[in-house]
Amino acid sequence: MASLHPCNSSESRKRSFDELQAADDLPQHETSAGDVGSVLYAKSGNHYSVDGEIFSIIGMTAFDAVMKKPPLVQYTPSAHYSRLPSFHQMTWLSDELPFLPFVPKWNVFKSNILKSLDVRLDAEIVEVLPDGRYALRSHIQDAWDYCERMHRLLLTQSMTFVTIPLSPRFRLWSYPRQYGYQRSHKSLALCLRQVTAARDSFLPLIAAIIFFLRYTQRILDLMGREPNGWRTKLAQCSGIDLVWVTEWLNTFLPPIGSSACLHVGGFVDALQAMSERTDDYLAVYSFGCVPVVLFWGPGGSYETSRLSTSLRAHCPTRAGIDFLLANCSTVALSKYTLPDVLVAPHVGDPSQKPYETIHEFFARRKRVKETRLGKESIADRESRLARERNAALGACPGKKGARVFVWELDGSHLVRMPVSRSEVSDVWHEFAPTQRRYDSVYNEWDLWSGFAPSDAPADDGFGSDYDSMQETEDLTQSNTAPALALDPGVSTPPTTTHPPVFEEGEILEVFDDSEAIHNRGMSSLKSVPDIFLSVTEVEFVPFDDSVESVVHHRYAMSDSFAPAPGHSTIPWRKAEKILGFYDAPVDEHSADKICRFVEHILSVDVNNLSSSDACFDYVDVCSKLRRLLQTSLRLRHVKAAGLYVLDDASTELPFVIAVSDSLVVVELVLRDIIREPVQIARFLMSRGFPFRTLMCGPYREIEPVGRSKSSPLGYRPASYVFTTADYFAYQAQLHRFFLQPRARSAVLRGGILARIARPFVHDQSVLNGPSDSIITSAGIALCVLDNDQSVNAFWDDDLTDDDISIICGVYDVGTGQFDSKGEEQLAQRSWWPRPHSWDGCGLNTGCWNPQAELWFTRREEKYLSSQSAPLSHKHWKDQLKFTKESSVFTNKLRAVSATVLAGFIS
Domain containing residue 824: 547-902
Amino acid at 225: R
For residue 348, the model assigns a pLDDT of 52
Residues 243, 876: Cα–Cα separation, whole Å: 58
- Residue pLDDT, tens place only, 500-545: 222 222 222 233 334 443 322 222 223 323 333 333 344 445 556 7
34-43, 369-378, 777-786, 826-835: segment of lowest average pLDDT = 34-43
Residue 403 forms part of a structural domain: yes
How much is the average pLDDT of 238-266?
Answer: 65
522-526, 559-563, 699-703, 727-731: segment of lowest average pLDDT = 522-526
For residue 75, the model assigns a pLDDT of 34
Which of 77-81, 214-218, 331-335, 468-472 shows the highest mean pLDDT?
214-218
Confidence of residue 127 (pLDDT cuts 50, 70, 90): very high
Tell me if 53 sits within 8 A of 267, measured CB to CB. Answer: no
Closest CA to 168 of 659, 617, 493, 507: 507
Name the DSSP letter for residue 313. Answer: H
611-615, 691-695, 836-840, 873-877: segment of lowest average pLDDT = 611-615
Residue 382 forms part of a structural domain: yes
- Does one domain contain both 692 and 739? yes
Amino acid at 572: W
Enumerate residues 6+ apart whose C-beta is below 8 A from 748.
690, 691, 692, 693, 754, 766, 796, 797
β pairing state of 403-410 and 413-418: antiparallel
- Does one domain contain both 843 and 882? yes
Of 473, 500, 527, which residue is a domain's last? 500
**pLDDT at residue 134 tops 90:** yes
Confidence of residue 126 (pLDDT cuts 50, 70, 90): very high
Closest CA to 592 of 568, 557, 574: 568
**DSSP states along 339-388:** -----------TTSPTT--HHHHHHHHHHHHHHHHHT--HHHHHHHHHHH
Residues 281, 265: Cα–Cα separation, whole Å: 12
Which of 170-179, 328-337, 595-604, 707-716 shows the highest mean pLDDT?
595-604
**pLDDT at residue 225 tops 60:** no
Q: At CA 269, angle to CA 268 and CA 273, rounded to 5?
A: 95
How much is the average pLDDT of 796-825?
Answer: 87
Residues 476, 865: Cα–Cα separation, whole Å: 13
- Does one domain contain both 291 and 415? no
How much is the average pLDDT of 762-779?
Answer: 74
- Does one domain contain both 758 and 859? yes
Amino acid at 707: R
For residue 133, the model assigns a pLDDT of 92
Confidence of residue 870 (pLDDT cuts 50, 70, 90): very high
Residue 534 forms part of a structural domain: no
Share of the chain above pLDDT 70, in %: 65
Name the DSSP letter for residue 332. Answer: E
Residue 526 forms part of a structural domain: no
The better pLDDT of the pair 807, 235 is held by 807
Confidence of residue 296 (pLDDT cuts 50, 70, 90): confident
Region of 887 on the Ramachandran plot (φ > 0 left; ψ -120 to 50 alpha; else beta): alpha
**pLDDT at residue 858 tops 70:** yes
How much is the average pLDDT of 404-424?
Answer: 75
Closest CA to 186 of 440, 425, 455, 387: 425
26-40, 341-355, 667-681: segment of lowest average pLDDT = 26-40
- Residue pLDDT, tens place only, 351-374: 787 667 888 889 889 988 988 898
Q: At CA 328, angle to CA 327 and CA 329, rounded to 5?
A: 120
How many residues are there in the chain?
906
Q: Spell out the SS3 assignment of 573-625.
A: HHHHHHCCCCCCCCCHHHHHHHHHHHHHHHHCCHHHCCCCCCCECHHHHHHHH
- Does one domain contain both 237 and 381? no
How much is the average pLDDT of 626-648?
Answer: 81
Residues 80, 121: Cα–Cα separation, whole Å: 17
For residue 202, the model assigns a pLDDT of 84
| Averaged confidence pLDDT in the chain | 71
The better pLDDT of the pair 265, 120 is held by 120
Confidence of residue 549 (pLDDT cuts 50, 70, 90): confident
Residue 350 forms part of a structural domain: no
Of 333, 350, 368, which residue is a domain's last? 333
Q: In what order do the strands lie in the sheet with 824-830?
A: 715-716, 810-818, 824-830, 871-872
- Does one domain contain both 215 and 362? no
How much is the average pLDDT of 574-590?
Answer: 84
Tell me if 53 sits within 8 A of 34, measured CB to CB. Answer: no
- Does one domain contain both 140 and 217? yes
Residue 452 forms part of a structural domain: yes
Tell me if 505 sits within 8 A of 98, measured CB to CB. Answer: yes
Residues 190, 348: Cα–Cα separation, whole Å: 11
For residue 755, the model assigns a pLDDT of 93
**pLDDT at residue 34 tops 50:** no
Tell me if 734 sits within 8 A of 807, measured CB to CB. Answer: yes
- In angstroms, the Cα distances linking 619 to 613, 626, 665, 666, 850 are 10, 11, 15, 12, 29
- Does one domain contain both 827 and 706? yes
Domain count, the chain: 3
- Does one domain contain both 261 and 375? no
For residue 33, the model assigns a pLDDT of 33
* Ramachandran angles phi, psi of 268, nearest 5°: -125, 125
For residue 552, the model assigns a pLDDT of 86
- Residue pLDDT, tens place only, 460-479: 333 333 333 233 323 223 33
For residue 886, the model assigns a pLDDT of 86
- Does one domain contain both 613 and 565? yes
434-438, 726-730, 833-837: segment of lowest average pLDDT = 726-730
- Does one domain contain both 175 and 305? yes
Confidence of residue 7 (pLDDT cuts 50, 70, 90): very low
The better pLDDT of the pair 399, 841 is held by 841
**pLDDT at residue 725 tops 90:** no
55-59, 282-286, 352-356, 812-816: segment of lowest average pLDDT = 282-286
Confidence of residue 781 (pLDDT cuts 50, 70, 90): confident
Q: Spell out the SS3 assignment of 12-65.
A: CCCCCCCCCEEECCEEECCCCCCCCEEEEEEEECCEEEECCEEEEEECCCCCCC
How much is the average pLDDT of 616-637?
Answer: 82
- Does one domain contain both 609 and 651? yes
Of 435, 467, 500, which residue is a domain's last? 500
Share of the chain above pLDDT 90, in %: 7
Structural element, H or E, at residue 627 = helix 618-629
Closest CA to 780 of 693, 835, 706, 839: 706
Confidence of residue 839 (pLDDT cuts 50, 70, 90): confident
Confidence of residue 224 (pLDDT cuts 50, 70, 90): low
Closest CA to 698 of 607, 576, 763, 789: 789
Q: Please list the helix, strand and coil fractions of the chain in percent, rounded to the nearest 5, in that order.
A: 35, 15, 50
Confidence of residue 15 (pLDDT cuts 50, 70, 90): very low
**First and final C-alpha spacing in the chain:** 68
Residue 736 forms part of a structural domain: yes
For residue 494, the model assigns a pLDDT of 36
For residue 750, the model assigns a pLDDT of 92
Residue 586 forms part of a structural domain: yes
How much is the average pLDDT of 401-425?
Answer: 77
Confidence of residue 144 (pLDDT cuts 50, 70, 90): very high
